Amino acid sequence: MHNPPRTSAARSVPAGLAAATLVLATACSSSGDGGGTSQDADTYTWWDPYPQHSEGSAWAERVDDCGERAGVEIERTASDTTDLTNRALLAAQEGTSPDVILLDNPAVPTLADTGMLATVGELGLEVGAVDENLLAAGVVDEKTYGIPIGANTLAIYYNAEILDGAGVDPESIGDWESLTGALARVVDNGDKGITFAATGTEEGSFQFLPWFWGAGADLHDLDSPEAVKALELWDGWLAEGYAPESVINNSQNTTWEEFSTGEFGFAVNGTWQVNSAAEADFDTGVIQIPAQGGGTAPAPTGGEFIVAPLQAETDRYDVTRQIVECMTTPEGFVETATTFAYYIPPTAEGQEALLEKQPELEPWVQAVRDAKGRTSDNLGTDYPEISEPMWTAVQNALSGSATPAEALKQAQADAEAATGR
C-alpha cells in the first residue's frame, strides 16, 4: 500500500542555501548546460550530473528505457554537480522541479532540508534491501529521501612489481604501522612510496576521511587526539619522504597520473580507476585502507541518489515510482555498475550479481560494504561547513604553516562558528 505523498510544493528555499557553493562530486568531474522542465502528462523530466554521457550514450539509452517501461517519454537534462544542486533549489522556489533528480549524495540533506523532496515512504518505495551504511547518506531526521543507484569509494592501489622488488607482501599490510613499514622498504629500495590527494577542496577531505575515521575520530570533534593522530600520519609520511610534497596540490586525477608513471608503490584512489589500473603498463593490485589499530577503515561513499521532488500534480507520482524502481532493481543496479564501470550496487543481491560478471571487483565490493556516508552521524547540511575547515587544516599542516594539533584546533573553532554547534 502506498502512503499518499504530500501535495504542497516545497517551502521557500532559504536564499543562503540557493546561493551556496555545495560539496562537489569527488568521484568524477563534468560540465554542461542545463534545461527546463515540462509537466506534459506523457513526458517526465529527469535531471542528472552526467553531461559527459550525451544523447545516444549507453547511459542516455538506459534512462530512456526506464521511461519506456513506465509508458512515458523522459526529457533528460544533464549539468555539472554543483550547478545541478543549485538549479534544483531554484526550481523548488519557482515551482518548476523536475520529476526525478540524480543527486550527489552529500547534497541530499540540503535539498531535503528545504522540504522539496518526497520521502521514499511517500512514494511507496521499498529500501529494506539497501545496505544501511549507503542509505544513511539520504537519511535526515530519521526520514529517508531517495535511493543510492550505486556507490564508489577509496582503497589503495599498489604496483606489484615495486612491492616484489622491495620484498613487501601486500597481504601483510593491516594497520598503520605495517603500511608505514612497507613504505620505508619501498623507498629504501629506490622507489617512491605513496601518493594521495590532499588538495584544498572536497577531494582533500574525501581522501583524508578514511585515516580520520580509521583513527576513531568523529566529524563533530575535529581536534580530538584521534584526529590529530590521523593528520600526524600524513605529515610524518611527507617528513620521512614516503609521500611527495605534490600531494598538497594533488587532485585525485593528478594522483593517478603520478601512480601511472610506474614510480610509486602505492596510491590512494577510487573505484573509478579500475579500468585504468587494468590497462597500466605494470601489474597492479588493491588493498583496503587500514585502520590505525588494524582492520579496514571506513572510507567515504561517493555516488548519486535518485530522488523525487514534490509536485503540484500528485497523480504523477505513480509513474515516478515506476521510473525509480526501474533504476533500483537488482538488475538495474548491475546495469548502472557496468554502464559506468565505477559503481558498486548498494544491495547484497546486486553486489553478488555484479561479482558473477566481474569477480575482480571483489575488493571494491568489500570497500563499499565498509564505507560510510559523509553526511552520516546526522550531520546533514552541516557537513560542508565542517569539511572545509578540515581540508584547510590538512593544507596548513602539510605545508608546515601549523602543527597538526594547531591546524585542527583552528579547524574545530571554524567549524563551530560556521555550524553553531
The radius of gyration of the chain from alpha carbons, rounded to an integer in Å, stands at 22
**Residue 54 backbone phi and psi in degrees, to 5:** -80, 180
Q: Is 138 left (phi over 0), alpha (psi -120 to 50) or beta?
A: alpha
Query: Grid coordinates representing 99?
Result: 520529476
Residue ranges in 289-361 assigned as alpha helix (H)? 317-327, 330-340, 348-357
Beta carbons of 257 and 209 less than 8 angstroms apart: no
Please, which pLDDT band fits residue 177 given cuts at 50, 70 and 90?
Answer: very high
- Tens digit of pLDDT for each residue in 82-101? 889 999 999 999 999 999 99
290 to 126, 184, 335, 361: CA distances (angstroms): 34, 17, 30, 19
- Say how far apart CA 375 and CA 202 lie, in whole Å: 13
- Tens digit of pLDDT for each residue in 33-79? 333 344 667 899 999 999 989 999 999 999 999 999 999 999 999 99
DSSP helix/strand/coil, 313: coil
DSSP 108-171: HHHHHHTT-B--HHHHT---TTB-HHHHGGGEETTEE--EES-BB-EEEEEEHHHHHHHT--GG
Amino acid in the structure at residue 31: S
- Say how far apart CA 383 and CA 89 lie, in whole Å: 18
- Tens digit of pLDDT for each residue in 109-148? 999 999 999 999 999 999 999 999 999 999 998 999 999 9
Bridge partners of residue 357, in order along the sequence: none
Beta carbons of 253 and 267 less than 8 angstroms apart: no
- Tens digit of pLDDT for each residue in 369-390? 999 999 988 888 899 999 999 9
Which DSSP symbol is given to 327?
A: H
Proportion of the chain above pLDDT 90, given as a percent: 80
Residues 6+ apart with CB under 8 A from 111: 85, 88, 89, 92, 101, 103, 117, 145, 307, 309
Q: What is the pLDDT of residue 376?
A: 86
Which CATH topology does 154-299+379-419 take? D-Maltodextrin-Binding Protein; domain 2 (3.40.190)
Q: Helix 225-240 crosses helix 404-419 at what angle (to 10 degrees)?
A: 130
398 to 123, 127, 199, 375: CA distances (angstroms): 47, 42, 10, 25
Same fold, 15-151+302-369 and 154-299+379-419: yes
Beta carbons of 94 and 116 less than 8 angstroms apart: no
- Tens digit of pLDDT for each residue in 294-352? 999 999 999 999 999 999 888 999 999 999 999 998 889 998 888 887 799 999 999 99
> What class does CATH assign to 15-151+302-369?
alpha beta
Beta carbons of 97 and 91 less than 8 angstroms apart: yes
Residues 6+ apart with CB under 8 A from 291: 175, 176, 214, 215, 297
Q: What is the pLDDT of residue 33?
A: 36
- Say how far apart CA 22 and CA 164 lie, in whole Å: 43
Please, which pLDDT band fits residue 8 given cuts at 50, 70 and 90?
Answer: very low
What mean pLDDT, rounded, does the chain reach? 89
Beta carbons of 52 and 272 less than 8 angstroms apart: no
3-state SS, 185-234, equals HHHHCCCEEEECCCCCCHHHHHHHHHHHHHCCCCCCCCCCHHHHHHHHHH
Q: What is the pLDDT of residue 207?
A: 98
All structural domains of the chain with their residue ranges: 15-151+302-369, 154-299+379-419
Side-chain half-sphere CA neighbours of 301 within 13 A:
34
The answer, yes or no, to whether residue 280 has pLDDT greater than 90, is yes
81 to 108, 161, 303, 354, 402: CA distances (angstroms): 12, 38, 11, 27, 33
